[in-house]
Amino acid sequence: MLHSDSHLPSLARCALFLSLLLGFGACTQQATKPRYTIGFSQCTNGDAWRQAMLAGMKKELSFYPEVNFRIKDAKYSSALQEQQIKEFLREGIDLLIVSANESEPVTPIVEEAYNRGIPVVILDRRTTSKLYTAYVGGNNVEVGQTAGNYVAGLLGQRGQVLEVLGAPGSSPATDRHQGFVQALAAYPQLQLVAQVNSNWERPSVLERLPAVLRAHPEVDLIFAHNDRIALGAYQVCKQLRLANRVRIVGVDGMPGPHGGIQLVQDGILKATLLYPPGGEEAIRMAMRILRKQPYDKENILGTMVIDSTNVQTMKLQTEKLASQQQDIQRQQQLLRRQRATYASQQTVLYVLAAALLGAAVLGLIAFRAFRANRRSNRKLELQNQEILSQRNQIQEFAEQAKVETEAKLRFFTNFSHELRTPLTLILGPVEEMLTSNPDLPATHRHDLGLIRRNAQRLLQLVNQLMDFRKIDVGKMPVRATEGNLVAFVREIMDVFEKPARQRGISLRFLPSEPVIRLWFDVNILDKVFFNLLSNALKFTPDRGQITVSIQLVPAENGVRVSVEDTGRGISEQDRAHIFEWFYQGQQSAARGSGMGLALALGLTRLHLGQLTFTSQPGQGSTFIVTLPLELPPALKLLDAAPQATPAFALEEGIAPAATAGEPAAYGSSEALVLVIEDNPDVNAFLTQKLQPHFQVSSAFDGATGLRLAAESIPDLIVCDVMLPELSGLEVVAQLKGDWRTSHIPVVLLTARNAPEQQVEGVQAGADLYLTKPFNPTFLLESLRTLLANRDKMREHFRRELSVDTVTVAPQRIDQKFLADLTAIVEANLGRSDLSVEDVARSLGISRVQLYRKVKAVLGTGVTDFIQGIRLTKARQLLLDDELNIAEVAYQLGFSSPSYFSTSFKARYQVSPSEFRALHTTPSA
């Protein structure tokens, strides 16, 4: 498996790389860092010869930047020198160069160093020991011998010689003296008459020589161990006026203003013996040793005599050498500077390189991260797309499910609705048979009772289903009227009296007071309490108890009605579900439709109340309805007469009254039915069957039928399908397309009973499709049901018109008619002489047609309708402070303010001024 890009290893790799890089930088730095420490113990650093030695060392060291060179100046003190070498050993050195102040005292510490494994280079002045690594310097015995031989030559091998020695105990002084004496031994007439010790410096000579010289005034030559003390001897000779005669020979042969070469050139010294300081050579030797290169132990630097014969050449050469030396020094300085520059540039370069590499690595990491990021982004995008498409799919499914559910529910509701008519038609004759036939045999009576009970039960279920649907789609209005809730509940309880008694159940009613007046929708609360009581009765065992109590609850500004039973209570499992639609308890023996409690809850909430319950398993349950004492005006049916009649009645079983939802009082003489049937026999039969119940007019063909319909605006039309010329289907289509007749229910009556033919009929706009042969009673009941539905429709339109803004969405032809009518009336409100004729003319119909249309659609007269709009408008105008009541009256076309006030009060129970006072807040 490929490892996915991980930043951590990359970073680790980067860090490792950078540390390696820095390590490399550090290594290159180390190359210029000291690798060797050389300690140089110098007997003195206070004269030109030693300075030259040091300069030579430094010059040579410049080629070895890896050397840490440290020098300690013993200032002619052997004790100090010993101590300083000890310090070197303590501090740690890789090699010791020593120029011993005195051989004897310094030897032990040098030996110790050597014994410790530290290479020792003896420079110029020796110790007494052979325990050293290498010697660099002149051969002082040879120097003494050369001097002796030169002196012999100079003096013609005869004469007196005086020797001024270097510091006693220092090896050059000893060796030079030894060599000098050895040489002189070859010349018997050359006598060393006196010796004077110095400390290698002039003042000691100036101090000691005069006395000795005075003692030996015949001295021809003085051999001094170095040029500095030779100069001192010259000065003494000068003092003693011997300078012209006494020749002086020195050692060192240094260039420079006070050096031996200059002294020879100036004639102060007769000669000087070259004694090279050997600084360069000493360093070179040290490096060979340190680098483990082959080397010689004894490295003798040559000597020669410089006198008048070669002094010029020497001077020139030394000067040239000096200038070359200077050049070299300058070059070295330059080199050093360049090295420093190079080093700093190198550092910068390394830093830059490191930064560059770092940047490259980071860039690489960033690039890889970017790529990984892009990959994961792409992946996320794909996942997103997938999720999105899944979501869309789910949405589609949900949408589809919703549509399907909606369609099913619609079907369900329509189907339920369709059940009502046959149920009503079953209940009607059964009721008639039971009531109009006292001699009915007991078995028949029993069977008919069974039919009635079950039909009633079915009707109740159908009604509940429709209520459920209405609540579900928010189509159930609350129309509250004021009444006594106590009396209302008692009436509902009365219905349960008989079945309770039959089962030995005691039904108790405990109102806290005899009268509790409030606004409530009788239709809604009837269903609520009816269902709660049904439920209690269902679950209370025989000889149990049901208690209904009513109490005012001032704290909640409400009234509480509780229905308490002694049933088996509600199980834990059922508690959460009992209010769900169609839920049937887990162990419910007495199964119901599963709608009762759900409907009660939905209706209570619709009524702005609450329905709760408490239950003790095995002891019983209590359902509590809490209703608000006040309802918002929108839920009040302000201009209706108070009612307190339950919509359900109970007979023997628990079922609604057969009269529930029945047609309103349509007097037989009031409703006009138009029969369009070409068959004279059927036409006559129909007329005969309908005449006892309605006003009937008839036509024998479609065209006549249409004309009659438009003229008389009947309440119902029964039409055959198979008509000559204009078919029944065409008649229906034209009727429904004409706004004057569009509201009229049409029943198509035909022998064509194929399902597709029925569909055709309904599609044409028929409200009912009955097939021949038909049951006259069924036809009659169907017509009644249709009229009842019309009634409801009328109610619906009336309500829509009663809202303050009198606008009706022109969705259907009837609604368009109402909208047109309303618009015409509103445009002419100010006219007190606005007549029905005026309005009919504006609509292009006759006064009678207008009257019948308005009556059919709204159930009111045209004048009432106009008055209604005026009074609705009046409420709006009264809310506006700017008009006084008389102005409102005139503006709305009332002939006088008093007529306006009377009309207003008749409709709204308050006078216009009271209405204004109630609805407007006095301005501060």
Q: Which residues bind ligand FRU (CB under 6 A)?
A: 44, 47, 49-50, 124-125, 166, 172, 200, 226, 251-252, 275
Measured between alpha carbons, how far is 342 from 882 in angstroms, rounded to an integer?
100
Q: Which is nearer to ligand FRU, 275 or 519 (CB)?
A: 275
Bridge partner list, 302: none
Q: Using alpha carbons, list the distances in angstroms from residue 37 to 113, 281, 290, 576.
A: 14, 17, 10, 96
Q: Which is nearer to ligand FRU, 318 or 697 (CB)?
A: 318
Q: How far is the CB of 174 from ligand FRU (least distance, A)?
A: 11
Q: How far is the CB of 124 from ligand FRU (least distance, A)?
A: 5
CB-based contacts of 261, cutoff 8 Å, min separation 6: 253, 254, 255, 272, 306, 311, 314, 315, 318
Measured between alpha carbons, how far is 261 from 661 in angstroms, rounded to an integer?
152
User: For residue 408, how many other CB atoms are within 10 A of its CB?
Assistant: 11
CB-based contacts of 794, cutoff 8 Å, min separation 6: 856, 857, 858, 859
Q: Which is nearer to ligand FRU, 275 or 817 (CB)?
A: 275
Q: How far is the CB of 340 from ligand FRU (least distance, A)?
A: 34
Q: Which is nearer to ligand FRU, 230 or 706 (CB)?
A: 230
Q: Which is nearer to ligand FRU, 167 or 524 (CB)?
A: 167
Element (H, E) at 163: strand 159-165
Q: How far is the CB of 139 from ligand FRU (least distance, A)?
A: 12
Q: How far is the CB of 77 from ligand FRU (least distance, A)?
A: 14
Q: Which is nearer to ligand FRU, 124 or 565 (CB)?
A: 124
Measured between alpha carbons, how far is 389 from 396 in angstroms, rounded to an integer?
10
Q: Which is nearer to ligand FRU, 226 or 683 (CB)?
A: 226
Q: Which is nearer to ligand FRU, 249 or 869 (CB)?
A: 249
Q: How far is the CB of 178 from ligand FRU (least distance, A)?
A: 14
∠896-901-902 over CA atoms, to 5°? 100
Measured between alpha carbons, how far is 467 from 602 in angstroms, rounded to an integer?
10
Position with the least CB separation from ligand FRU = 226
Q: How far is the CB of 317 from ligand FRU (least distance, A)?
A: 20
Residue for token pair 């390394």: 350
Would you give the DSSP letter of residue 891?
H
Q: Which is nearer to ligand FRU, 124 or 677 (CB)?
A: 124
Whether the CB-CB separation of 560 and 550 falls below 8 Å is answered with yes
Which burial class, exposed, middle or buried, applies to 391 when counting CB atoms under 10 A from its CB (0-12, 13-18, 19+)? Answer: exposed
Q: How far is the CB of 200 from ligand FRU (least distance, A)?
A: 4
Q: How far is the CB of 293 from ligand FRU (least distance, A)?
A: 27
Whether the CB-CB separation of 774 and 837 falls below 8 Å is answered with no
Q: Which is nearer to ligand FRU, 275 or 904 (CB)?
A: 275
Measured between alpha carbons, how far is 117 from 440 in angstroms, rounded to an integer?
149
**Phi, psi values for residue 190, rounded to 5°:** -105, 115
Q: How far is the CB of 226 from ligand FRU (least distance, A)?
A: 3
Measured between alpha carbons, how far is 908 from 910 in angstroms, rounded to an integer?
5
Q: How far is the CB of 141 from ligand FRU (least distance, A)?
A: 13
Measured between alpha carbons, how far is 644 from 861 in angstroms, rounded to an integer?
27
User: For residue 509, how many other CB atoms are within 10 A of its CB?
Assistant: 14
**Phi, psi values for residue 713, rounded to 5°:** 45, 70
Q: Which is nearer to ligand FRU, 50 or 479 (CB)?
A: 50
Measured between alpha carbons, how far is 314 from 307 in angstroms, rounded to an integer?
9
